[in-house]
Structure 1
Amino acid sequence: MTNALVKNTGSSSSASTYLMVPIFIFFILLIFAVIRGPSLISSAGIGSAIIVVAPLVLATYALTIIVMAGRASVDLSIGPLIGFINVSLIQLVGIGFLKSVMGLFLFAMAAGIAYQLLMSLIIVYVRVQPIIVALSGYLALVGLNLIIMQRPGGLATEWMLSWGAGTEIFSPVLVILVLATVGWYLLAQTAFFGNLKMMGSDERATYTSGVNINLVRIGAHVIGGVYAGLAAITFTSLISSGDPSQGTTYTLMAVTALVLGGANLAGGRGSAFGALLGALNIYLITFVLSTFNFGMVQSYVTDLAYGVILVVSLLISIAIPELQKRVKNLSPTMFFVICATLALGVVMHITMDQFVDPLNPKPRFTFASSSTDVDDGTGYSGGTYFMFIILGLAVTSYMVRLLFSKNSPSMTALVVLLVVVVLGLIFAPDMGPDQVVADLTLQAKLVINTDVSATQFFALEPISQSSTLSAFTTIVVGSTALLALAAAILLASLIILLAMPHVAMRTKRVGMILFWCVLVIVGIAVLFAQSSDAAYLRS
């Protein structure tokens, strides 16, 4: 009976469908973050991200394992608990009681386990609602932290100071994070984890099947205490000192990351991958907002962004079942691969493409540079084209295989369309050397402050650069590019609709009318742009 319940629980959760929401939000935020700060994709950028996000990831792991036990047992005291272990470690290091790595780890995890064990015993045997116990623990630890350390101060051990440098990707903090994640997946293979999920989904049925639900709940809190102790260690290495108030901010961030990771607050659903995505989403939100200058209201804007992303994730989660009805075979793994491929293309374009001189192929300027002398050359070179080639070959191979396995008029039209798109991505022409040299001769001794790109075939290619391009001309070129892209999308949709016999004729007519309207507007826009360029040259 237990096995049947576990099987039903797994099937009812629709495998890992809930992970599509955090996956989608993660890649959208990643693209925005790289556009706003290309330095994020570097050894120092990734190393710094690991150091900053590690405490939040581990705190979210702790919350997830506890929430999975059911009864809406969200541990609101996770932030003050991290702060309590942090200030206690710093005070004990200051008096010389803790010096070794082993001693520090044992103390941190023992403190986390002791606290969570006490909370679980109160919930199980005193029968107090988990949310009341968590709120009481939150208030008690906030006051206790201020008693232990009145104000931020102290200094971590020398070996811990180097841990929080964040200058390299590979660090002890990354090792802790990897081991904690591996430990989660090893735990997920045990009968305890199956009982935990089953209890969170239906506690009464789990009890009647013979599972000791009290022991399972206590075990979940103990494991959460271990993760809380590890989170406190990485937090201490991050700030390299003690802070009685800083840890409390992790409660809001960890709970938000928990929800963004797709965990069910009622229990029974959660994963390390979802918790990791939720924590990374919180970090990326903070990173993107830090690239803007909001002045004194920066922290309030960040909190507002957390709330907006939460609402957006809930709205997307509502749309996921409808999406799966139309795309029945779309699995979270395939969805992740698609999003990762698109995001990788953007990341490679932003971080690797550079301005080059056609007569001297050595790159001189990064894509992110705001201006450059025309004498030093124009054009792009870097990783985007390699990305298009790899993507094109992979998609073409898959489409050909799909064509032979499911031979139908609609599938044939779709495959032909996608092959054309892929070929457009691969063989998009570059600006020839003669054309570039002529352009340099026309614009010699000028400084380029605006880089204008438009959709030529299916890839972004530079079409014109000028020092005196007005905002008006830029808008014209950009609008033309967007309209051309819209026309390509409508044409693709029209081909697919015409190939499907069961689609109503009225729908096909509307698609055809929209396509021709957009095509006419594109033609007018192109003529208008050429006229404006000619008028500029005459002036």
Structure 2
Amino acid sequence: MAEAQGGRSNPFLLMPITLFFALLSVAVLRAPSLMSASGIGAAIIVVTPLILATYALMASTIAGRGTIDLSVGPLIGFINVTMIQLHAAGLLESPIPVFLYCMGVGAAYQLIFSLIVIYVRVQPIIVSLSGYLALTGINLVILPRPGGTAPAFMEEWGFGIEIFSPILVILLLATTAWLLFTATAFYTHLRLMGSDERAAYTSGVPITIVRIGAHLISGCFAGLASICFTALISSGDPSQGTTYTLIAVTALVLGGASLGGGRGGVFGSALGALNLYLITYVLSSFNFGSVQSFVTNLAYGVILVISLLMTLLIPVIQRYIRNFSPLLYFVALSVVVLGIILHATFDYGSLGAVGVYVPGPFSLQAALTAPLETASLTTETEALRLAAAPLVFSSIILIIVAVFLRLAIGQSSRRTIGPAVAVVVAALALAGAYVIAEGANTTQTEVIK
């Protein structure tokens, strides 16, 4: 198969990558505080529940039959309100019972969902819509209005003032688990079933077991999303979770997944969720008054329609870009946007005032030798060099690693080298986050001194 080779193109990621860097550039220029430790920390805590909800949708959507789980939002809300009520009763206090309960409830619901679809033979869209309506009402019965308190160990999770937090750990572990899942034969059967269920059945794929397994995976990710959502709001909310249905489906489409099944990836889904967050962030930097929420929904709809129209151009793009590498394209744009970030966050006032021109006799020797002489550096210039050195070094390493991986992938299959690529990219992202965090801590220390 053409897609099995690491060197072949994957043009479905062209749109989400381009949109991500375009929105990130505008967001940084409009509000440079996004690139601070607190800005990135706040972004992580806000976008993580959406990313995990998109993962939950992706697992069942890949299974085919048009399985778009519209009940994922109310399911997250149901787990949230029941967890808050059980915590108030003193039953859920420590992390392990909370995680087991949330993931267990999500998996149990999805198991019932899959059994109805398989054995009762009801269309998945009908089951998901029924679940959406039923869970919405049940949530209001369990908790009529927002209230309650989250478990004590979650109190500091939702502050969003630091980059490294338990929420980031949950997101990284969930993403790693999905990437490891893509290296299994079960995932291959899942994609085959989503692309053509009849062909999968005649090939000996146990489609019943595969479909049930896909729904169980969706339930586990929904449980993790509910934990991060609870940490974000630090309480219970019976209605807020329903909004995740619309934005999670939008993020899934923006990430290049096919609603017909058979195609979807963790990288595209994460980019789709990040794009929605950046849309909200950029629009919040403008003052639309009382119609702010309507403008945000309008932007969601317009960008979703444009993304769907762009998918019609995929055959044309494949005709001219036969060896498109999402990794190299991502790295190339990241270097460009890194320059924009440095420009937006750099304090040009720290360079000092421009020297005053003093007229006098012109010395040719001084004009030629002065630029070559080594002058003593000021404190501001030395601090600037120390702050910029890790970023420049990281950019050079990123380019070298990307070119190396591109050559390696061209000679290998995605199955064998895909996890290695994910580990390298994740390590580079963590290294960049560490550099930003250390730079912020150093700046705070200097200010205190």
Residue equivalent to 2:95 = 101
Quote the sequence identity (%): 58
List runs of 5+ in structure 2 lacking aligned partners.
356-376, 404-449
Residue equivalent to 2:413 = none
The one-character-per-residue Cα deviations of 1:370-409 (angstroms, maximum 9, x if unpaired) are xxxxxxxxxxx9859x869978xx79xx9xxxxxxxxxxx
Instruction: Write the distance in 2 (CA, Å) between the matches of 1:136 and 1:258.
Output: 21
Residue equivalent to 1:146 = 140
Pairwise CA RMSD of aligned residues?
2.7
Residue equivalent to 1:292 = 286
Higher relative strand content: 1
Cα pair distance change 1:389/1:151, threshold 3 Å:
closer
Question: Where does 1:508-519 land on structure 2 (aligned, <5 Å)?
Answer: none
Report which of the two structures shows the higher radius of gyration computed on alpha carbons: 1
Of 17, 38, 63, which aligns to 2:11?
A: 17
Question: Where does 1:169-318 land on structure 2 (aligned, <5 Å)?
Answer: 169-318=163-312
Q: How many equivalent pairs are there?
A: 373
Of 110, 113, 119, which aligns to 2:113?
A: 119
Query: What residue identity is the alignment partner of 2:45?
Result: I
Cα pair distance change 1:10/1:75, threshold 3 Å:
farther
Question: Where does 1:40-51 land on structure 2 (aligned, <5 Å)?
Answer: 40-51=34-45
Q: Is the 8 A contact 2:56 2:219 kept in 1?
A: yes
Query: What residue identity is the alignment partner of 2:255?
Result: G
Residue equivalent to 1:134 = 128
Instruction: Write the distance in 1 (CA, Å) between the matches of 2:315 and 2:67.
Output: 27
The one-character-per-residue Cα deviations of 1:469-528 (angstroms, maximum 9, x if unpaired) are xxxxxxxxxxxxxxxxxxxxxxxxxxxxxxxxxxxxxxxxxxxxxxxxxxxxxxxxxxxx
Shift of 1:268: 0.2
List runs of 5+ in structure 1 lacking aligned partners.
1-6, 365-380, 399-539
Of 328, 333, 344, which aligns to 1:334?
A: 328
State the SS of the aligned residue for 1:329.
coil
Instruction: Write the distance in 1 (CA, Å) between the matches of 2:261 and 2:296.
Output: 28
State the SS of the aligned residue for 1:344.
helix
Shift of 1:297: 1.3
Higher relative contact order (CA 8 A, sep 6+): 2
Q: Is the 8 A contact 1:18 1:262 kept in 2?
A: yes
Residue equivalent to 2:444 = none
1:69 aligns with 2:69: no
Instruction: Write the distance in 2 (CA, Å) between the matches of 1:227 and 1:126.
Output: 25
Q: Is the 8 A contact 2:190 2:211 kept in 1?
A: yes
Instruction: Write the distance in 2 (CA, Å) between the matches of 1:225 and 1:155.
Output: 24
The one-character-per-residue Cα deviations of 1:443-491 (angstroms, maximum 9, x if unpaired) are xxxxxxxxxxxxxxxxxxxxxxxxxxxxxxxxxxxxxxxxxxxxxxxxx
Q: TM-score, normalised by structure 1?
A: 0.65
Cα pair distance change 1:204/1:290, threshold 3 Å:
same
Instruction: Write the distance in 1 (CA, Å) between the matches of 2:168 and 2:395.
Output: 30
Question: Where does 1:375-386 land on structure 2 (aligned, <5 Å)?
Answer: none
Instruction: Write the distance in 1 (CA, Å) between the matches of 2:340 and 2:95.
Output: 41
Of 151, 157, 163, which aligns to 2:157?
A: 163
Q: Is the 8 A contact 1:257 1:275 kept in 2?
A: yes
Cα pair distance change 1:128/1:293, threshold 3 Å:
same
Instruction: Write the distance in 2 (CA, Å) between the matches of 1:214 and 1:19.
Output: 30
Q: TM-score, normalised by structure 2?
A: 0.78
Q: Is the 8 A contact 2:145 2:237 kept in 1?
A: yes
Residue equivalent to 1:458 = none
Query: What residue identity is the alignment partner of 1:241?
Result: S
Cα pair distance change 1:86/1:390, threshold 3 Å:
closer
